[in-house]
């Protein structure tokens, strides 16, 4: 049973393993080793028998192959209605076969499964909305990704991603020290314009525990500062945890369920330790899904709920605007045509479709809906980890055409996307297709238009 | 005076003039110099691919690539490195302005030296976050230490600083700029020119000022300089005060040329981070692009107090 040095069934638990993976330019050696990787059919079948429960079993069996899901899939429409892109075909020919053959499959088959699970499905779960039986291929592909991961068949970046979670408890190599330093830095840098601005760490019994996406401390620290400014202006009693601040879960994209559990328990431990009244997640879709929707199950919480009530950032913004905690200067509302990107992960998975519309009604003069929208909206093309995987870049770029056309059809010049993956995908889309649009998170837009209460203004200059 | 200098460079020809000043200064003033290069922008989520800032190509980032880039920097500055050995080379990936600011904070740098790339020259410049603005804008606005920007060949930088122009708009940030200009002038034995340009650029919008209004403004500004800055220069008398009228950036550049000054010190505290708007709005940016001497942007007192 040959296992590669980099591509194998082992979990990445040490820094040495992680560094070795990172040193492999573009995953060249990793994918080379993957070709030699043996499939442990017995173990695979044992796992399937233990974990393939009645819902997925039934779904596999009752699928009538009616093809009603075809048009629901953006990959299908973006690829000239290629029959191989019909969701039911995609899952039946991979997971369906795997179960039918009782795990007795070869290396080539596993690689086909991996390619299908990562380059032909972003787990956006849109097909589930249109299936007459309610069969959700996104959920099933999530399950298949887990099986593939247990056998070592996962894209190189995914293996790195789960390693990061296992070692740093974050999707990137941000240590506790880096995180605390970034918070201090941002408070210092922005304090001059917003006197009294603080980023309180580990404050107990705060009204809000704020948690982020590791990419914020790593690459966009101003995002943390912007969140701090808005909480400050809204007069919130808030805090960030020193440990358990990272909400995202590349492990969820990869199907490394043990790492998912570790990651989310770290956040829940912060909740238990600091006892906040509620938790607010930054502008990220999959982070919200991982911590608030799926997380409780990974952590084995019987209630199916996180230890404290948890909100997505759009919910906090809507509430702050509704209750007047944040006031918009009417003259500064967005004048140009603007549209809104519904993130699959908190629209379809959590039903938050109305909230963004409420926000737009406060901040935009010319809001234009994409068609279709809300829970019918298409994935940006970068969901399910697709943004980060080099091997499937081309497939993702083709998939993005659907969102591109949706955006262009609105005539909007600005897309608001309160989700890191959507934000990235739209940025990439602009780079590839030159659409002439801008894109933004909510925070920088709000900062430009909120009224600063008199007592929080900086002293007059000069 | 400048114990630690952080030279943030793209290691491309657009930074050559800045390199000359950075190395020259470090040698002359015995400073530790860090040549700091952000080699690529991680633009693909958590992926291991980065966009090379010099070529614009997507590269797979790893230790070998990093070493190769450092070697390239060594070659680029081989001549300067021979002259000044107290120098370290650092390279990493990230959003350039974020990493420059992070490094300056981490190393407790006394001065950041940067080149200014013009907007026409798209190779090598990369406005990453469409809404946040360019590297220069963000670094000069947010840095705690003075930022020395070299936009064009620094013609007069041959013998260290001798004449310093402090351009003021009387803002609070300009206070820190003044302290820096004064302390540098005092320590290095330079002449200090305290200068203000009264803005009459409204003429383009059809707003004509009466001559007596202009003259009043000139008088008021001169008085303001005397009141605000002169009492703070105890025992230092090698200074002159001048107030001209016109378009501020033009006047500052003209005045500097006339006085053969070799350093301009100003504050940059525009609140508008949008590159399109700031291009027209920021006097400092225009001065940087046009002056033939280094321009120091100082907004905060932190690093100036201990000079």
Residue of B nearest to A392 (CA): B47
pLDDT value of residue B117 = 62
Residues B117-125: contacts with CB within 8 Å, 24+ apart?
A: B117/B10, B117/B14, B118/B151, B118/B289, B119/B275, B119/B279, B121/B14, B123/B12, B123/B54, B123/B56, B124/B10, B124/B12, B124/B14, B124/B53, B124/B54, B125/B14
Which residues of B fall below an 8 Å CB-CB distance to A? Answer: 42-49, 60, 62-65, 94-95, 98, 101-102, 105, 129-132, 142, 144, 170-173, 271, 300
Q: For A101-155, where are the alpha helices, taking DSSP H only?
A: 107-119, 127-130, 137-150
pLDDT value of residue B58 = 81
pLDDT value of residue B128 = 32
Mean of all residue pLDDT scores within chain A: 95
In 3D, which of B269, B267, B265, B268 has the Cα closest to residue B294? B265
* Lowest pLDDT segment from A27-41, A137-151, B130-144: B130-144
Q: With CB atoms and an 8 Å threshold, state whether A421 touches B60.
A: no
CB atoms within 10 A of CB B98: 23
pLDDT confidence bin for B282, thresholds 50/70/90:
confident
Which value does ipTM take for this structure? 0.86
Under 8 Å CB pairs connecting chains A and B tally to 85
Mean of all residue pLDDT scores within chain B: 83
pLDDT at B55 over 70: yes
Residue of A nearest to B105 (CA): A185
- Helices A401-410 and A420-433 pack at an angle, to 10 degrees, of 90
Q: Give the separation between CA B214 and CA B220, rounded to whole angstroms.
A: 10
Q: With CB atoms and an 8 Å threshold, state whether A215 touches B45.
A: yes
Across the range A401-418, mean pLDDT stands at: 97
Mutate to test the interface with A, among B43, B45, B273 (most CBs of A within 10 A): B45
pLDDT digits (tens, 9 = 90+) for A248-260: 999 999 999 999 9
Helix, strand, or coil here: A9? coil
Residue of B nearest to A443 (CA): B131
Of residues B1 and B176, the one with the higher pLDDT is B176
* Lowest pLDDT segment from A231-235, A325-329, B20-24, B128-132: B128-132
Residue of B nearest to A155 (CA): B47
Q: Is A420 on the interface with B (CB under 8 A)?
A: yes
* Most confidently modeled range among A24-28, A45-49, B131-135, B171-175: A45-49
pLDDT value of residue B304 = 83
Q: Give the separation between CA B226 and CA B245, rounded to whole angstroms.
A: 18
Q: How far is B54 from chain A (nearest CA, A)?
A: 17
pLDDT at A461 over 60: no
Chain B residues closer than 8 Å to A160 by CB: 46, 48
Q: How far is A409 from chain B (nearest CA, A)?
A: 22
pLDDT value of residue B300 = 85
pLDDT confidence bin for B62, thresholds 50/70/90:
confident
pLDDT at B275 over 60: no
Q: Is A444 on the interface with B (CB under 8 A)?
A: yes
pLDDT confidence bin for B61, thresholds 50/70/90:
confident
- Please say whether the beta carbons of B42 and B94 come within 8 A: yes
pLDDT confidence bin for B14, thresholds 50/70/90:
confident
Chain B residues closer than 8 Å to A250 by CB: 46
pLDDT at B129 over 90: no
pLDDT at B166 over 80: yes
pLDDT value of residue B303 = 82
Q: Give the separation between CA A302 and CA B293, rounded to whole angstroms.
A: 69
Among B48, B63, B129, select the one facing A160 at the smallest CB separation: B48
Residue of A nearest to B272 (CA): A448
pLDDT digits (tens, 9 = 90+) for A123-143: 999 999 999 999 999 999 999
pLDDT at B38 over 60: yes
pLDDT value of residue B158 = 59
Percent of chain B with pLDDT over 70: 86
Look at the alpha carbons of A383, A388, A394, A395 in this order and tell me if their dihedral is positive or negative.
negative
Q: b/e string for B187-220 if b means 16 or more Cβ within 10 A?
A: eeebebbbbbbbbbeeeeeeeebeeeeeeebbee
CB proximity under 8 Å: A 158-177 to B: 160-161, 164, 171-172
Q: How far is B65 from chain A (nearest CA, A)?
A: 9
pLDDT value of residue A291 = 96
pLDDT confidence bin for B152, thresholds 50/70/90:
confident
Of residues B62 and A448, the one with the higher pLDDT is A448
pLDDT value of residue B200 = 86
Residue of B nearest to A184 (CA): B105
User: CB burial class (10 A; 0-12, 13-18, 19+) of residue A308?
Assistant: middle
Q: Give the separation between CA B69 and CA A87, rounded to whole angstroms.
A: 45
**What predicted TM-score, i.e. pTM, was given to this entire model?**
0.91
Chain A residues closer than 8 Å to B271 by CB: 193
Of residues A189 and B44, the one with the higher pLDDT is A189
pLDDT digits (tens, 9 = 90+) for A78-113: 999 999 999 999 999 999 999 999 999 999 999 999
Among A25, A250, A461, select the one facing B172 at the smallest CB separation: A461
CB proximity under 8 Å: A 374-413 to B: 382, 387-390
Q: Read out DSSP for chain B?
A: --SEEEEE--SSGGGHHHHHHHHHHHHHTT-EEEEEEEEEE--STT-SEEEETTT--EEE--HHHHHHHHHHHHHHTHHHHHH--SEEEEEEES-HHHHHHHHHHHHT-SEEEEE---TT--TT----STTT--HHHHHHHH-SS-EEEE-S--TTTTSS--EEEEE----HHHHHHHHHHHHHHHHHT-EEEEEEEEE-GGGGGT-PPPHHHHHHHHHHHHHHHHHHTGGGSTT---EEEEEEEE-HHHHHHHHHHHTT-SEEEE----S---HHHHHHH-HHHHHHHH-SS-EEE---SHHHHT-
pLDDT at B192 over 60: yes
pLDDT value of residue A439 = 95
pLDDT value of residue B270 = 57
Mutate to test the interface with B, among A25, A173, A195, A414 (most CBs of B within 10 A): A25
Helix, strand, or coil here: A176? helix
pLDDT digits (tens, 9 = 90+) for B209-219: 889 999 999 99
Look at the alpha carbons of B220, B224, B225, B227 in this order and tell me if their dihedral is positive or negative.
positive
Residues B208-216: contacts with CB within 8 Å, 24+ apart?
A: B214/B245
- Helices A54-62 and A137-150 pack at an angle, to 10 degrees, of 120
Q: With CB atoms and an 8 Å threshold, state whether A421 touches B45.
A: yes
Q: How far is B49 from chain A (nearest CA, A)?
A: 8
pLDDT at A212 over 80: yes
User: CB burial class (10 A; 0-12, 13-18, 19+) of residue B106?
Assistant: exposed
- Looking at the DSSP bridge assignments, the partners of residue B89 are B35
Q: With CB atoms and an 8 Å threshold, state whether B46 touches A427.
A: no
pLDDT at B157 over 70: no
Q: How far is B204 from chain A (nearest CA, A)?
A: 26
Q: How far is B305 from chain A (nearest CA, A)?
A: 17
- Please say whether the beta carbons of B42 and B128 come within 8 A: no
Q: Give the separation between CA A424 and CA A219, rounded to whole angstroms.
A: 13
pLDDT at B173 over 90: no
Across the range A223-233, mean pLDDT stands at: 97
- Helices B135-142 and B96-107 pack at an angle, to 10 degrees, of 30
In 3D, which of B3, B263, B264, B266 has the Cα closest to residue B111? B3
pLDDT at B126 over 50: no
Query: What's the angle, vertex CA B266, arms to CA B264 and CA B267, rounded to 5?
Result: 160
Q: Give the separation between CA A129 and CA B71, rounded to whole angstroms.
A: 55
């Amino acid at each position: 049973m040959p296992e590669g040095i980099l591509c194998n069934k082992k979990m990445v638990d040490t820094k040495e393993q992680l560094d070795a993976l990172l040193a492999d330019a573009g995953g060249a050696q990793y994918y080379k080793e993957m070709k030699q990787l043996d499939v442990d059919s017995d173990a695979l079948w044992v796992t399937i028998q233990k974990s393939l429960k009645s819902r997925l079993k039934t779904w596999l069996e009752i699928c009538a192959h009616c093809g009603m899901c075809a048009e629901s899939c953006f990959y299908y429409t973006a690829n000239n209605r290629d029959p191989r892109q019909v969701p039911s075909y995609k899952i039946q020919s991979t997971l369906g076969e795997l179960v039918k053959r009782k795990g007795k499959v070869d290396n080539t088959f596993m690689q086909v499964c991996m390619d299908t699970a990562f380059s032909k499905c972003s787990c956006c779960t849109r097909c589930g909305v249109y299936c007459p039986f309610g069969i959700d291929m996104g959920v099933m592909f999530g399950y298949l990704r887990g099986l593939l991961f247990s056998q070592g068949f996962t894209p190189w970046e995914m293996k790195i991603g789960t390693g990061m979670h296992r070692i740093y408890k974050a999707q990137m190599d941000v240590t506790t020290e880096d995180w605390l330093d970034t918070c201090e830095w941002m408070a210092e840098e922005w304090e001059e314009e917003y006197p009294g601005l603080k980023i309180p760490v580990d404050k107990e019994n705060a009204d809000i525990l704020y948690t982020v996406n590791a990419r914020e401390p790593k690459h966009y620290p101003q995002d943390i500062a912007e969140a701090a400014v808005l909480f400050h202006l809204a007069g919130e009693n808030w805090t960030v945890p020193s440990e358990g601040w990272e909400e995202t879960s590349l492990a969820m994209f990869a199907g490394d369920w043990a790492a998912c559990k570790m990651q989310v328990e770290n956040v829940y431990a912060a909740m238990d330790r600091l006892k906040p009244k509620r938790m607010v997640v930054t502008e990220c879709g999959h982070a919200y899904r991982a911590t608030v929707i799926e997380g409780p199950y990974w952590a084995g919480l019987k209630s199916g709920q996180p230890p404290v009530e948890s909100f997505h950032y759009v919910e906090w913004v809507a509430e702050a605007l509704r209750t007047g905690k944040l006031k918009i200067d009417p003259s500064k509302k967005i004048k140009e045509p603007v549209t809104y990107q519904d993130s699959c992960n908190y629209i379809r998975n959590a039903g938050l479709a109305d909230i963004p519309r409420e926000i737009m009604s406060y901040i935009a003069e010319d809001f234009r809906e994409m068609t279709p929208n809300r829970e019918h909206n298409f994935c940006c093309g970068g969901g399910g980890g697709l943004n980060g995987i080099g091997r499937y870049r081309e497939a993702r770029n083709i998939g993005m055409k659907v969102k591109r056309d949706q955006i262009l059809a609105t005539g909007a010049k600005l897309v608001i996307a309160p989700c890191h993956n959507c934000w990235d995908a739209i940025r990439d889309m602009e780079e590839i297709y030159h659409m002439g649009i801008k894109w933004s998170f909510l925070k920088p837009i709000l900062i430009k238009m909120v009224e600063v209460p008199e007592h929080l203004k900086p002293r007059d200059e000069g | 005076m400048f114990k630690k200098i952080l030279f943030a460079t793209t290691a491309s020809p657009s930074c050559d003039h800045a390199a000359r000043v950075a190395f020259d200064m470090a040698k002359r003033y015995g400073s530790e110099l860090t040549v700091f290069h952000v080699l690529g922008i991680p633009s693909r989520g958590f992926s291991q691919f980065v966009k090379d800032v010099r070529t614009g190509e997507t590269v797979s980032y790893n230790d070998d690539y990093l070493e190769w880039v450092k070697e390239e920097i060594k070659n680029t500055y081989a001549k300067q490195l021979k002259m000044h050995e107290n120098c370290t080379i650092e390279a990493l990936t990230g959003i350039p302005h974020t990493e420059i600011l992070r490094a300056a904070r981490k190393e407790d740098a006394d001065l950041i030296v940067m080149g200014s790339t013009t907007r026409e020259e798209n190779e090598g410049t990369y406005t990453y976050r469409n809404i946040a603005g360019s590297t220069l804008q963000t670094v000069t606005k947010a840095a705690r230490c003075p930022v020395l920007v070299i936009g064009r060949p620094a013609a007069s930088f041959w013998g260290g600083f001798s004449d310093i122009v402090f351009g003021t708009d009387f803002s609070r940030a300009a206070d820190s700029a003044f302290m820096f200009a004064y302390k540098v002038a005092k320590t290095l034995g330079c002449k200090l020119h305290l200068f203000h340009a009264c803005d009459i650029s409204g003429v383009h919008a059809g707003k004509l000022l009466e001559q007596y209004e202009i003259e009043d403004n000139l008088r008021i500004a001169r008085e303001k300089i005397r009141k605000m800055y002169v009492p703070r220069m105890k025992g230092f008398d090698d200074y002159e005060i001048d107030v001209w009228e016109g378009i501020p950036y033009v006047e500052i550049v003209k005045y500097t040329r006339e006085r053969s000054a070799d350093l301009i010190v100003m504050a940059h505290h525009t609140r508008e981070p949008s590159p399109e708007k700031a291009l027209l709005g920021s006097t400092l940016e225009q001065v940087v692009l046009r002056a033939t001497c280094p321009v120091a942007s100082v907004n905060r007192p932190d690093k100036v107090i201990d000079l």
